[in-house]
Structure formats: C-alpha cells, structure tokens
C-alpha cells in the first residue's frame, strides 16, 4: 500500500511539479546536516578534539625509522588507521562547514590539518617499501595479524621498481611546483584574462563562460550559436600560450615518469589503475573504432532539432530544449519519493539506506534550494569509520540534473555507509577512482530510466531516455574521446609531431571526428583541446571516466537482464571495500572481466538497443 501511495505522489509530481515546487514553502526550506549530532557539538569542540589527533600523531612518529620487526610493522599500520580515522572525522567536519560558507575559518583549518597529517605520516610508505622481500615474508609468518594488511602491503610495494633514492625524491618534491604545477596555474591565469563577453537575450545578457549551460539550453538558436562561437573564439585568442602550457605539462609528466623508470606518463597512469598499458591502449583504440555510437546519438538529437526548429542542427544545438516541453521541476519532498522508488530494485537494504540519508529527521543531508552566497555550488559526500555518512549539495533548483547529482553523490554516501556498517577498516575504504565512480554513475542510469518509465507523456519519456543516454550512457565514449586525445598528445610530443597550437588543432579534429559528426563542418571545434582543463589540472585522469562509464553500463545490463543474480552480489561488492585489485573484485563478485573485449561489446549492444529505441520513435 505504501508503495502505491508513493507512486501516486510522484507520478503527480512528474506531471505537475513546477506548480508544487512553487507552492510548497516547506519544500523550499531544504535539508540541513546535523553536524553536532554526528561529528562535533561546536567548532570549539572540534578544535579541542584535535588534541586526541595530535596524541595519535605523536604515537605514530614513534614508529619512524623503527619498522624493524613484525610487531613494530603491525603497530605502525594499526596506529596509521587510528590516525586516519580521527583525521577523517575532523576533515569531513571542516570540509562540510567550509562548503556551507567559503569564508568560514574552517576552510584554512582543513587545509592546514591535512598537510600536517600528510607530513607526519609520509614516512610509512617509503619505509615499508624499503623492507627487503625475505624480511617482510618473515614478518608475515611471525605475526598472523599482519595477514589482514596483506593487500595494503602489496599495494605499497608494487611501486618498488619505481622508487627513487630518498634524497633524489626529496629534491623532486621540493621542485614539484616548478616542474609540474606551474602549467595549470598559467592555464588558469591565461583563461581568467580572456574577455569572453556576454550574449544578449530577450531576458538580459548571459555570461559566455559562467552561464554556458543556460546558453547551450536556450530556446533561441542565435543565442546558442553566439555563445558557442564566442567561447571558442576566446580560447583560440590565447591558443599559443595555452599550447605552451599543455606541451610543457606533457614534457614534465613524461620526464617524471621516465625518472621513475616507467616507459612514459600514460603507462605510469594506466599501471597505477592496475591496468596493463597495452590493454588500456587497445581499449581506447577499440572505442574510437566504435565511435559511431556517439554519432548515432547526435543524429537522433539532430532529427529532434530539425523537427522542432525546422532547420538543420549544428554543434551548438545539442542541448537545445524540446519545443513546448518544459521538463518539470521537482520539490525535495517529491525527490525523496522518487529516490525511494527508483532504488527499490536494489533491495531493501540499499533502499532504506538511501531513504535514511535524505530523511529530514536524520540530519544527514545538506541540500539548499536556490543555494546561497559563499556556499559551494556542487555536491559530495563525507563519512568516517563508526560515523554516519553525510550528503552535501550546494544549490538545488529541482531540475533533472539536480536529481541526478543527488543520486550520484547520495550513492557515494550510501556506499560509505554500507562499508562502515560492514566494518571495513580505513585501510580498505577507498580504491581506484573509476571503481568508486562506477557505483555512483550506475545510480544515475537507474534514476533516468525510472523517470522515463513513469513519465506522464511520450515527449517526457523521450526526454528522460535522451538524458539517460547523454548524461551517463555515453559517458565512457566521451571519456574515451578525451583520454585518446590526451594519449595522442603525449605520444605526439615524444615523437616531435606535436610542437604547437596548429599541431594540437590537427590532432583534435582527427580524434574528435571519430566520435562526433561536427568537427568536419565546424572549424571552431579544432580548439577543443584548450577547453579540456583536466589535461592541465590532473594529467591523464580522463581514463577513469572510460572504465567508470563502461562498468556502470555493465551493472545496468546485469541489473536489467539478471536482477536476482546481480543485486545481492552487487551489494556485497559495495560492502566489501577495496581489499583486492579492482580486476579481482569485479571478477569475483560480478564475473566481469575488466581487460577482455566482452565488457565493451556487451555495453555496445546495450547502447545500440537503446539507440534503436530512440531512432524508432
Ligand atoms: Zn562521484
């Protein structure tokens, strides 16, 4: 009965929630996290409690230079967990307060505490690496309790071949800002100095950069085109300096990789994700060969535009609104009902965890309709061992994208909670980003699908199906486009075929042309390399979106075809933590082979079926 009641509420919500959103004052209040209940009573209490953390750090420092017995090694690993646990509670608290108000002193305190803890625990990994192999084997035999740290030790020691003598590493660390960090600083400064300007609209000017999403989704094609062209022209106006910063990023990363005895920077990155560099390179190449899947979606959107606007679609029209369909806004109250229903298929345990997270009585979510000055606009979750996880979302406007962000970040929070409830120690509560992100992205697929299934009209159903495809369905392919471009730039710099902005333009048009219809006819797109800021900020990170996206689709595939088999295994994987390499975890719990061709092939089949559906309508 309860299920039916909820269903009635949200179907109504989807049909007419713009009105509900506007009319319910309670819905505008938002949710606030009760930090005093789960973290510290007051900011002063948090400061006072740092004494305990400092004591733990002092205790930790007693192990420095003393990892000379099984007993000492076990003591250091255990003490490190105590430190990380205490720190996570402070860090989460300060980070959340800082996000509520960017001018809060918590922001500086958070950074200071983090670098203090990092500095005082930095000796552990190099000292573990320095233990000779046979000695460590002896420790493991002598002290059975070390067995539970087995994977953590292997994880640290797999870097063995790449470690530099301490003095060399210290020197490199000291010069890191001048070797590898200045390029992103320069990028930010150059971009900040570009005057992109505004686009005039019937309701006033829109900022080309800050309001680019509003411009891209504007109903007036002239606004979309002008915004697009001004943004590309802005980046092109500084192409030489931006190319200089990018090529120096690549040179620095390749040099650092070689200094650490890796073949090159891409190999170093792929290995850090527990992937064989050749496997990752072949995967990216195979995805480019199947880049047509992303082009098919562009064709679907182009036909929508043709039909709605009676003119051919351009690169800047892909987010144009469907005529006469204003997707409904959703109040927070209705959003909670939607999440309750959307995650029902994941079983009672997951569903109740998500319900508990967004239940106002629990004070575990901080979501503010309309946002606020000085409040961080994005979303994240925090959590620590023995504490409750908390979800933060800076600005809620009731759009579908907002619901999707809550499904994603709430997914991280529920995942943390499931690990905590299962007693996963801090050593194993974090893992490779792509695996972490795959779980959150899967929630977004479930949400879009659920809204499509329960949409009140065929137009709205199509709208959510297209969002399913564009927000997460094709994520792996958009990620592959960026990862392949980045890899090609690294290869090109080594081969001296990429030396300036012209070379970067050429490479961008070639690779983007494999995934998109527009580069051939839209010369502006050649400057896209300058807009992929992640290449400067976090070199080679993009490949995480490839694996994360492919896995989320595979979970979705298993969820829809073998739900009874999949769900208990998936929940067990979430609860397990990261005590093995990702490949092994995926194989053991879900029978997924991360390096074989089946993952991509199964996903392609799924995407193709979903595109058939969109093309048929
Ligand atoms: Zn995430």
Look at the pTM and tell me if it is higher than 0.75.
yes
Looking at the DSSP bridge assignments, the partners of residue 205 are 200
Cα of 472 from ligand 1 centre, angstroms? 12
- Say if CB 474 and CB 297 are below 8 A apart: yes
Token pair, residue 322, equals: 């469907």
Q: What is the model's pLDDT at position 9?
A: 35
- Both tokens of 63, joined, read 């192990």
361: CB partners within 8 A, 6+ apart: none
Q: What is the mean pLDDT of residues 109-121?
A: 91
Residue 440 C-alpha to ligand 1 middle, in angstroms?
6
Residues 408 and 467: their CA atoms lie apart, in Å, by: 15
Q: How many angstroms does the Cα of residue 587 sit away from the middle of ligand 1?
A: 22
Contact 314, 321 (CB under 8 A): no
Of 105-119, 288-302, 554-568, minimum mean pLDDT range: 105-119
Output the CA 406–ligand 1 centroid distance in Å.
Answer: 10
Kindly state the average pLDDT of the residues 577-603: 96
The alpha carbon of 414 and the centre of ligand 1 are apart by a number of angstroms equal to 12
Distance CA 573, CA 119 (A): 33
What sign has the CA pseudo-torsion 256, 259, 264, 267?
negative
| C-alpha 87 to ligand 1 mean position (Å) | 21
The DSSP symbol for 592 reads: -
Give the distance (Å) from ligand 1 centre to CA of residue 212.
22
- Ligand 1 centroid to Cα of residue 403, in Å, is 14
Q: pLDDT for 530-548, tens place per residue?
A: 999 999 999 999 999 999 9
For residue 437, the CA-to-ligand 1 centroid distance in Å is 5
User: For the residues 197-222, what does the mean pLDDT come to?
Assistant: 92
Per residue in 473-493, pLDDT (tens digit) is 999 999 999 999 999 999 999
Calpha distance 214→198 (Å, rounded): 12
- Quote the ligand 1 centre to 411 CA distance (angstroms): 8
Q: Are 536 and 249 a contacting pair, CB within 8 Å?
A: yes
Instruction: For the chain, give the longest Cα–Cα distance.
Output: 77
Please tell me the distance from the alpha carbon of residue 150 to that of residue 298, in angstroms, as a whole number.
48
pLDDT at res. 24: 44
- Ordered strands of the 379-382 beta sheet: 365-369, 390-396, 379-382
Six-digit token string for 98:
């800082």
Q: Calculate the average pLDDT of the chain.
A: 92
Confidence label for 384 from pLDDT (cuts 50, 70 and 90): confident
Question: Using N-to-C axis directions, what is the helix angle for 433-453 and 332-342, rounded to 10°?
Answer: 100
Local confidence band at 436 (pLDDT 50, 70, 90 cut-offs): very high
Cα–Cα distances in angstroms (integers) from residue 59 to residues 73, 117, 446, in the given order: 14, 13, 46
Cα(380) to ligand 1 centroid in Å equals 7
For residues 257 and 593, give the distance between their C-alpha atoms in angstroms, rounded to a whole number.
28
Is residue 64's pLDDT more than 50?
A: yes
Residue 274 Cα to ligand 1 middle (Å): 20
DSSP state, residue 366 = E
DSSP β-bridge partners for residue 382: 390
Quote the ligand 1 centre to 409 CA distance (angstroms): 6
- Å from CA of 381 to ligand 1 middle: 9
pLDDT at residue number 13 = 37
Q: Give residue 306 CA to ligand 1 midpoint distance, Å.
A: 35
- Tokens, residue 395: 């600005």
How many angstroms does the Cα of residue 316 sit away from the middle of ligand 1? 27
**pLDDT bucket at 28, cuts 50 / 70 / 90:** low
According to the model, what pLDDT value does residue 20 have? 36
Distance from C-alpha of 346 to C-alpha of 425, rounded to nearest angstrom: 24
First to last CA, the chain: 34
pLDDT of residue 292: 97
pLDDT at 270 over 50: yes
Cα 542 to ligand 1 centre (Å): 14
Query: If you average pLDDT over residues 388-400, what whole number do you get?
Result: 93
**Which domains are delineated in the chain?**
2-33+327-445 (no CATH), 35-163 (1.20.140.70), 253-259+262-323+446-617 (1.10.1370.20)
- For position 538, what pLDDT does the model report? 94
- pLDDT average, residue stretch 461-470: 94
Per-residue pLDDT at 4 exceeds 50: no
Pairing of strands 379-382, 390-396: antiparallel
Interval between CA 583 and ligand 1 midpoint (Å): 20
**Whether the predicted pLDDT of 405 surpasses 70:** yes
Category of 593 on φ-ψ map: left (φ > 0), alpha (ψ -120 to 50) or beta? beta
Tell me the CA–centroid distance for residue 8 and ligand 1, in Å: 31
Task: Give strand pairing partners of 201.
Answer: 204
pLDDT at 309 over 60: yes
Least confident window among 285-299, 308-322, 347-361, 488-502: 308-322
Confidence of residue 16 (pLDDT cuts 50, 70, 90): very low
Sign of the alpha-carbon dihedral angle for 282, 489, 481, 159: positive
């Amino acid at each position: 009965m309860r299920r039916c009641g909820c269903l009635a509420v949200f179907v109504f919500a989807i049909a007419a929630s713009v009105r509900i959103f506007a009319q319910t004052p309670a819905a505008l209040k938002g949710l606030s996290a009760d930090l005093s209940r789960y973290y510290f009573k007051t900011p002063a209490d948090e400061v006072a409690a740092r004494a305990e953390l400092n004591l733990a750090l002092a205790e930790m420092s007693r192990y420095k230079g003393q990892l000379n017995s099984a007993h000492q090694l076990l003591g250091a690993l255990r003490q490190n967990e105590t430190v990380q646990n205490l720190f996570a509670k402070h860090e989460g608290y300060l980070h959340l307060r800082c996000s509520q108000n960017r001018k809060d002193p918590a922001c500086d305190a958070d950074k200071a505490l983090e670098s203090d803890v990092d500095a005082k625990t930095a000796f552990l990994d190099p000292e573990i690496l320095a233990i000779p192999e046979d000695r460590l084997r002896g420790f493991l035999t002598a002290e059975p309790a070390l067995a539970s740290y087995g994977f953590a030790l292997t994880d640290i020691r797999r870097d063995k071949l790449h470690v530099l003598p301490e003095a060399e590493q210290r020197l490199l660390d000291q010069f890191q800002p001048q070797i590898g960090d200045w390029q992103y600083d320069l990028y930010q400064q150059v971009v900040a100095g570009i005057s992109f300007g505004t686009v005039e609209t019937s309701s006033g000017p829109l900022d080309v950069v800050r309001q680019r999403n509003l411009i891209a989704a504007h109903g007036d094609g002239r606004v979309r085109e002008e915004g697009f062209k001004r943004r590309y022209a802005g980046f092109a106006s500084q192409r030489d300096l931006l190319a200089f910063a990018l090529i120096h990023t690549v040179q620095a990363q390749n040099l650092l990789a070689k200094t650490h005895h890796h073949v090159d920077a891409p190999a170093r990155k792929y290995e850090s994700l527990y992937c064989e560099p050749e496997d990752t390179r072949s995967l990216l190449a195979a995805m480019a060969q199947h880049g047509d899947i992303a082009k098919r979606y562009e064709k679907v959107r182009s036909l929508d535009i043709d039909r709605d606007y009676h003119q051919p679609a351009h690169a800047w029209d892909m987010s144009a609104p469907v005529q006469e369909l204003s997707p409904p806004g959703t109040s927070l109250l209705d959003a909670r009902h939607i999440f309750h229903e959307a995650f029902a298929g994941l079983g009672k345990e997951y569903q109740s965890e998500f319900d508990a997270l967004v239940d106002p009585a629990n004070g575990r979510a901080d979501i503010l309709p309309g946002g606020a000055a000085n409040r961080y606009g994005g979303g994240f979750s925090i959590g620590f061992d023995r504490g409750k996880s908390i979800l933060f979302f800076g600005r809620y406007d009731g759009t579908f994208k907002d619901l999707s962000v809550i499904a994603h970040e709430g997914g991280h929070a529920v995942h943390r909670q499931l690990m905590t409830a299962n007693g996963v120690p801090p050593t194993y509560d974090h893992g490779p980003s792509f695996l972490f992100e795959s779980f959150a992205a899967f929630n977004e697929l479930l949400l879009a699908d659920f809204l499509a299934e329960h949409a009140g009209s065929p137009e709205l159903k199509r709208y959510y199906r297209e969002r399913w495809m564009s927000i997460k369905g094709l994520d792996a392919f958009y990620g592959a486009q960026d990862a392949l471009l980045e890899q090609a730039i690294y290869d090109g710099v080594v081969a001296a075929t990429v030396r300036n902005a012209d070379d970067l333009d050429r490479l961008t048009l070639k690779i983007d042309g494999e995934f998109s219809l527009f580069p051939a006819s839209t010369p502006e797109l050649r400057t896209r390399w300058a807009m992929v800021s992640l290449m400067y900020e976090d070199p080679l990170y993009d490949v995480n979106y490839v694996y994360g996206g492919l896995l989320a689709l595979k979970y979705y595939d298993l969820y829809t075809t073998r739900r009874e088999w999949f769900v208990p295994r998936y929940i067990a994987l979430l609860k397990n933590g990261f005590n093995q390499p990702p490949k092994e975890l995926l194989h053991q719990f879900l029978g997924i082979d991360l390096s074989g061709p089946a993952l991509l092939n199964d996903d392609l089949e799924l995407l193709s079926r979903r595109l058939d559906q969109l093309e048929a309508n």
